[in-house]
Amino acid sequence: MTRSARRNDYAVVIAYLIGIMMLGLYFVRFVRSADDFFLSGKTLPFWAVGMSIVATDISAMDFVGVSGQSYRFGMAVGNFDWLGSVPAMLLAAFIFIPYFWKAGLYTIPEYLGRRYNDYVRAVASLTWIVFFALDLGVLFWATAVMFEPLMGWKPWFSIIVTAVVVGLYTFFGGLTAVVMTDVVQMIIMFVGGATVVVVGLYHAGGGQGGLPGPVPRLRTAGDADSAPVHLGGSREPALVAQLEALGARRPGDHLHDLLYLLRQARHGGDGEPG
């Protein structure tokens, strides 16, 4: 990588981090009570909530981990999320969410507490806390893996920078800051992901009537490590990771996201869900 390209990378990434942090801190002025902090004063528009859910569902895990898994295993990675998540989303949206809406429930632990007792609710809450703590650690590490070749930063430095930027506007700006920064980040991720697909296909020969042939040094099924699965005798392109990143995710994630949307709808409007 040339020195000029490295300077450009630094400029873009640093401008992005500072811009996102300043945008999030802008909404501190609207936080005057616990209701403002946790529920955004019941004023979030539906489109912002929806875009926030999508942005939350896509992370460095997709752009780093899923891309690598797609290179190794091909189309199976995309099929796993589609087949594993879409049925669960439909069940959650049309069966579980209407029930939670009528019962006035917003979280799974809250439901378990009403259905059983407070001990079950506490165990479920602790389980979610541990899960998200571990999941957040993986996401921070995936971000560090992405920054290391791009910026030359050590993993510990990338993790600290990411945690400070996100932590500041989340702690002071509450849910409004999180949702509105998610809106901007969703646009950036979608535009960036689509650009990667177009530019990647072009440089691979896709803009000249098709791919020129097998990618050099692509591992075969006989290799001991990182062997991609061949479906029908053909190598699946690693760009399928971009398609997967725009698709469905894990069932538990989507049920949690739908409950989040339900909470916003109940506190932000009086109508029944359509």
pLDDT band at 226 (very low <50, low <70, confident <90, very high): very low
Q: What pLDDT, on the 0 to 100 scale, is given for residue 120? A: 93
- Segment among 29-38, 88-97, 133-142, 257-266 with least mean pLDDT: 257-266
Cα 128 to Cα 20: distance, rounded to the nearest angstrom:
27
Domain ranges of the chain: 3-268
Cα 236 to Cα 72: distance, rounded to the nearest angstrom:
9
Q: What is the DSSP letter of 230?
A: E
Q: What is the DSSP letter of 235?
A: E
pLDDT band at 177 (very low <50, low <70, confident <90, very high): very high
Mean pLDDT of the chain: 74
pLDDT band at 227 (very low <50, low <70, confident <90, very high): very low
End-to-end CA distance of the chain: 52
pLDDT, tens digit (0-9, with 9 covering 90-100), for 91-123 = 877 888 788 777 777 678 888 898 899 999 999
Q: What pLDDT, on the 0 to 100 scale, is given for residue 274? A: 40
Q: What is the mean pLDDT of residues 233-251?
A: 42
pLDDT, tens digit (0-9, with 9 covering 90-100), for 117-143 = 999 999 999 998 998 888 888 888 888
| Residue 37: both structure tokens together | 């902090």
Among 222, 167, 193, smallest CA distance to 20 is for 167
Q: Higher-confidence residue: 8 or 25?
A: 25
pLDDT at 192 over 70: yes
pLDDT band at 5 (very low <50, low <70, confident <90, very high): low
Cα 67 to Cα 270: distance, rounded to the nearest angstrom:
42
